[in-house]
Structure 1
Amino acid sequence: MPRKSTNPSVADEGAAPGGTAAVDRALSLLSAFRPGDRALGVTALAERTRLHKSTALRLLNSLAHAGLLVRDETGGWSPGPEIDRLAQVRAAAFPLEAVALPRMRELVAQTQESVALHVRRGAQRLCLLRVDSPHLLRDHVRAGDLLPLERGAGGRVLLAFSGEPGALSEQIRCDGYLMRTGDRVAGLTGISAPVWRAGGTAGAAPVLVGALTLTVPEPRLRPELVGALREAAAQLSAALGAG
């Protein structure tokens, strides 16, 4: 039997209430892959998840059996074809990317600044979609990056419209947006507003999808960017049935 670690694994720290520990640990191995990763060895995956190598290897073999991972000839592991299939199923069921990306590209063409759609993932926010500014001077967050909720305009908007108490959240809810400079990166301004979709039943309240955020180097900040961002967020919400 493998020795139990004195340090909790990533899965143990974020265990699903009423869930199964083995499933949480297997999913933590999938979540360990980051943008830019190709194949990761069992040692790297065990370090990222804080699992024993023997435990990680058993779980990796199960994930490979399901097609969620593949192992190459060098022993490295990478995401498998089943993930592509599930992504296609999700995209067909909830075509957020198809709806959002054209409007995000229009906003970038209008403002010449980068725009991202952030969604909440537990205690962090995920950059789900991103369109870059054509300028060389810009922030370099990529789709797939995880960012803090408690810093940056996008994270604070997600918290506010998820019911976070406090004076700042109340002000964001009152204003309907937030502009914040230097909150996450010095010299960078974020302008963010919520995106909504229709509720599941007729007459149901809209559901928060995420936060649409422009990121602007401070020297290029100009007043009309606030209106452009808020209008784009409203248009996207309307396209998702919440208008």
Structure 2
Amino acid sequence: MAATEAPGGVAAVDRALAILAAVEARNEPSTLAEIAQVTGFYKSTILRLLGSLEGSGYVMRLRDGRYGLGASAFRLGLAYERQNPLRWHVLPVLNDLVENGTESSSFHVLHGPGTRMCLFRVNSRHSTLDRVEAGSILPLDRGAAGRVLLAYSGDAGSTHASLREAGYALSRGERDPLCAALAAPVFGPSGAITGALSLSGPSERFTPSNVEHMRTLLIAAAAQLTQSLGGASRKAG
């Protein structure tokens, strides 16, 4: 699928970022052909922009000709860790949920027009888990966390009124047919949604009694996290 340019952006910058995102998305280094397939760009365009990305250290060319992330990407990640206070607030909440016997806890944020990112994740104590990791890019229109982010986005309209009224979402088999999830919104000081707090795992463990128990813990945790971030819960409407 061809990458798209951001409205009002600089075309060369948008293309370079799309190439960087294509390299980042894979679990192993990428060939030129693989980058071209993901971005939809001509190989000549990719090679020209890869030269700039290599020069700035964000991409490195390996001996076998494939491309991987460079040291500047690592430094950028470390800088993000230093400057992002969310970790200090979110991780204790995720750990507390799991310690209270919930399924795996995660915090998701908007990533793109149709995607979300799992920013933080704490696995449950169960032996079987759903396949979500910190850094995973997931669809925005499937799964409880995605639906929560959509419900409180600026252009949600009345489509998600019932979810906003309930204050949480429950999904079964939307993203993975064997998994289920609960999610609730977390708000920041401006009143805009900061992220979605979620609990996810195999559907078989989402029995009515477990769902009710986890829902109570989740909504309380989301309210606690909203308060610690200086936000206020939004009323349905």
TM-score (norm: length of structure 2):
0.87
Contact 1:34 1:144 in 2 (8 A): no
Matched residues, number: 226
Contact 1:182 1:188 in 2 (8 A): yes
Query: Which residue pairs with 1:159 in the alignment?
Result: 150
Query: Which residue pairs with 1:79 in the alignment?
Result: 69
Matches within 5 A, 1:190-229: 190-199=181-190, 206-221=191-206, 222=210, 223-229=212-218
Query: Which residue pairs with 1:232 in the alignment?
Result: 221
Post-superposition CA distance 1:1-33 (Å, at most 9, x none): xxxxxxx831xxx21112111111110111113
Q: CA RMSD in A?
A: 1.9
CA shift for structure 1 position 183? 2.5
Contact 2:33 2:43 in 1 (8 A): yes
Post-superposition CA distance 1:85-132 (Å, at most 9, x none): 222333333221232112212211212411111111221111121122
Matches within 5 A, 1:7-46: 9-10=2-3, 14-34=4-24, 37-46=27-36
Post-superposition CA distance 1:195-228 (Å, at most 9, x none): 12223xxxxxx23111111013233221211011
Post-superposition CA distance 1:175-199 (Å, at most 9, x none): 1111222222224221100112223
**Structure 1 pair 158/183, CA: closer, same or farther in 2 (3 Å)?**
same
Q: Percent same amino acid at aligned positions?
A: 39
CA shift for structure 1 position 35? 5.6
TM-score (norm: length of structure 1):
0.85
Contact 1:112 1:135 in 2 (8 A): no
Contact 2:149 2:196 in 1 (8 A): yes
Q: Which of structure 1's runs of 4+ aligned residues deviate more than 4 A?
A: none
Matches within 5 A, 1:70-219: 70-122=60-112, 123-163=114-154, 164-167=156-159, 169-199=160-190, 206-219=191-204
CA shift for structure 1 position 54? 1.5
Any unmatched runs of 5+ in structure 1?
1-7, 200-205
Any unmatched runs of 5+ in structure 2?
233-237
Q: Secondary structure at the match of 2:63?
A: coil
Query: Which residue pairs with 1:52 in the alignment?
Result: 42
